[in-house]
Amino acid sequence: MYQVQIKSQQQVIVKKHTRLLKLLNDCKRFMVTQKIGFASILIIFFTIVVAIFAPIIAPYDPIDQNRDAFLDGPSLQHLMGTDDLGRDVFSRIVYGARISMVVGFGSIFLSLIIGTILGMVSGYFGGITDMIIQRLMDAILAVPALILALFIAALLGPSVVNVIIAIVIVSTPQFARIVRGEMLRIREMNYVEASRSIGANAFRIIFKHGLPNMLAPIIVVASLGFGSAIIAEASLSFLGIGTPPPNPSWGLMLSDASRYMESGPWLVIFPGLALAVLVLAFNLLGDALRDFLDPKLSS
Amino acid sequence: MAEYIIRRLFYGVIVLFIMITFIFVIMRAVPGDVVLLQLSDTGNISEEQVAALKTELGLDKSVAGQLFDWLKGAIQGDLGKSLWSNRSVNEMISARLPVTLELTFLSSIIAILIGIPIGVISAVKHNTFIDQLLRLLSIGGISIPNFWIALVLLTFLSLVFNWIPPLGYQSFMENPVVNIQQMILPAICLAITLCASIVRMTRSAVLEVLHSDFIRTVRSKGAIERIVIYKHALRNSLISVITIIGLQIGSLLGGAVVIESIFSLPGLGSLIFESVNSRDYPVVQASVLLFGAMYLLVNLIVDITYGWIDPRIRNS
């Protein structure tokens, strides 16, 4: 009797943590099979750390002007040189990571949530709701993304929040579309029919059956979306309708740099390099995730 | 086939209409009154001045009224007048449109002509060093912001070769040499992202096709490898490639805005940018409408090309 009891206690413990164990196992497998993806995660993590600990890492204040050190090249005192107002470029890049990360994560998470809700409602309930939501998404998709984002951000005025709003509006349709497609597919599954026949309501079906089965494409699109969001913020700031000066947005730094191309080429190189590396990391991660999750997707 | 095209056009017009209404309403709902902006130079603003300017510009009617007026005019081909310079919007746009069209056209051609062969090579030399290198380059291509490449190229050219593109835009008709000099750099910068997407898509599509059964049949009947690749494999992967081109033209049009600003090209992109900042409603509406219409047209052409390329779709 005693032995049987112990065994069943162990079984209970393993059963309680099955989902977590499976997740950890998946992560381990990802790290082993997708080495590039893992490297990208490290880069992104590194950027997050830099963004959070910016005040400690940056040697100077990013908006502190120093008229003596005007357009200095990279040196021991200023690792990446100074700009036309004497501000240390390295410190500005470090603080700029904050802006890119906040805009990237903020806008994609928001558009993911809104898009997923819209897609689930649209896909599950169908009918007029579906039609209205879909027409709205199509209208947003009809205009090229940057142009619509430009339009919204320019109207609302230069600020980080407005940039996030613009990017959210532009990015939501892609999530809505994917989720709606998945929902339509899942709706016809046997387990959904079974759930419905024992009286599960719509809410329960959507969240318990729908959501877990559509996580994979959502994750891939989100990861690629981060890269686009960061570039969108940089583009808008470059045009002057994104993050307002003197905030050290990388796009804004590039716009300042465009006036000093000959006298200060380092001003052009470093912010762009930072952007390129970060976006590259997100794109590589998205690719790796897609490769990793694909066999599961095509079941 | 014709029925399909007409249905798609009709649907596209509805979507454009929704979008225009959306934009119309948003422009007027957001702070930044164009009347106050215009009058702010003259100092003290009196009530009568504001009212008079409003009536003159037609802004005193309700939003719905204004929308109706504009639509009525648009259908007849009259897109209104600029609120700032009183020039006809048609005239402003038709002056700028060719520039953007030429830029977009050049970029697409460069991207397609370079991208497809590279994608094919990458697929054929699957898993070799060349393949890995090309894959890395193509992911780099879609990640790197194109305006950064533009700045780096300009910096490099001016520092190393002491050359900058000629200022003062001249159209192709006026002076082809200067025009190409002005267009080539922006076209290349815009083309990079599209080219990278094409390479990736071509590679994965050709790879998939190369492993299929009918290719094995073609090979076993003794065809030379080159014919196998270009005549059989490529044809069948064209659908995916064309899809991606259609989708990416949207980001090409968007990128044109930034690139036109950097290279000071008087195109539609820079027009939209200037007019949004000055709240020039008619110009913005017309430009956004035009961009939307172009994007719609490109996607429609893509869909029609599907039918032309793949007889299975044509006959379904």
- What single-letter DSSP state applies at residue A88? B
Tokens read off for A145: 């993304």
| B52, containing H or E segment | helix B47-57
CB contact under 8 Å between B276 and A151, yes or no, is: yes
Tell me the C-alpha distance between B278 and B266, whole Å: 17
CB contact under 8 Å between A146 and B251, yes or no, is: yes
Query: pLDDT for B191-206, tens place per residue?
Result: 998 999 899 888 888 8
pLDDT of residue A2: 54
Instruction: Tell me the residue type at A50.
Output: V
**Nearest-neighbour CA in chain A from B227: distance (Å):** 31
CB contact under 8 Å between B30 and A155, yes or no, is: yes
Instruction: Tell me the residue type at B252.
Output: L
Tell me the C-alpha distance between A28 and A35, whole Å: 11
Dihedrals phi, psi of B81, to nearest 5 degrees: -120, 150
Tokens read off for B60: 């005193």
Task: Compute the average pLDDT of residues A175-185.
Answer: 87
pLDDT of residue A264: 80
Between A53 and B2, residue with greater pLDDT: A53
pLDDT at A298 over 50: no
> Which residues on chain A are in Cβ contact (under 8 Å) with B291?
143-144, 147
Does residue B103 contact residue B183 with C-beta atoms inside 8 Å? yes
CB contact under 8 Å between B26 and A283, yes or no, is: no
CA distances (Å), origin A264, targets A9, A63, A276, B151, B178: 69, 18, 20, 12, 28
Q: Which residues fall within 8 angstroms of residue A217, CB to CB, at 6 or more apart?
A: A178, A182, A297
Per-residue pLDDT of chain B (316 residues), as tens digits, is 677 778 777 887 888 788 777 777 777 776 656 666 666 665 666 667 666 666 666 666 666 777 777 777 766 666 666 766 777 777 888 888 888 888 999 999 999 999 988 888 888 888 888 888 888 888 888 888 888 999 988 888 888 888 777 777 777 777 777 778 888 889 999 999 899 989 988 888 888 887 777 777 877 887 777 777 777 777 778 877 888 888 888 888 888 888 988 888 888 888 888 887 777 777 877 888 788 888 888 887 887 777 677 666 655 5
Nearest by CB: B155 against A148, A268, A271: A268
pLDDT of residue A34: 78
Query: pLDDT for A71-80, tens place per residue?
Result: 777 777 777 8
CB contact under 8 Å between B148 and A272, yes or no, is: yes
Find residue A82's DSSP bridge partners.
Answer: A88
As a whole-number percent, the residues of chain A with pLDDT over 70 amount to 93
CB contact under 8 Å between A276 and B144, yes or no, is: yes
Tell me the C-alpha distance between A17 and A24, whole Å: 11
- Nearest Cα residue to B74 out of B125, B112, B17, B130: B17
pLDDT of residue A166: 92
Task: Compute the average pLDDT of residues A181-190.
Answer: 82
**Nearest-neighbour CA in chain B from A244: distance (Å):** 15
Tell me how many residue pairs between chain A and chain B have CB atoms under 8 A apart: 131
Tell me the C-alpha distance between B53 and A241, whole Å: 28
Q: Is the pTM of this model over 0.90?
A: no
pLDDT at A297 over 80: no
Between B79 and A102, residue with greater pLDDT: A102
CB contact under 8 Å between A152 and B253, yes or no, is: no
Give the HSE-up count for residue A36: Cα atoms under 13 Å, Cβ half-sphere.
Answer: 17
pLDDT at A167 over 90: yes
Does residue B145 contact residue A235 with C-beta atoms inside 8 Å? yes
Give the relative orientation of helices A145-156 and B281-309 as an angle to the nearest 10 degrees: 160
Nearest by CB: B159 against A262, A272, A282: A262
Say how many Å lie between the first and final Cα of chain B, rounded. 10
Tell me the C-alpha distance between B183 and B260, whole Å: 10
> Which residues on chain A are in Cβ contact (under 8 Å) with B16?
142
Tokens read off for B66: 């204004």
Residue given tokens 């024992």 in the structure block: A198
Give the HSE-up count for residue A80: Cα atoms under 13 Å, Cβ half-sphere.
Answer: 23
Residue A294 contacts B, CB cutoff 8 Å: no
> Which residues on chain B are in Cβ contact (under 8 Å) with A140?
19
CB contact under 8 Å between A156 and B250, yes or no, is: no
- Chain CA centroid to CA A268, Å: 25
- What single-letter DSSP state applies at residue B85? T
- Nearest Cα residue to B186 out of B104, B121, B242, B241: B104
Give the relative orientation of helices B146-156 and A250-257 as an angle to the nearest 10 degrees: 30
pLDDT at A203 over 80: no
Q: Which of helix, strand or coil describes residue B240?
A: helix
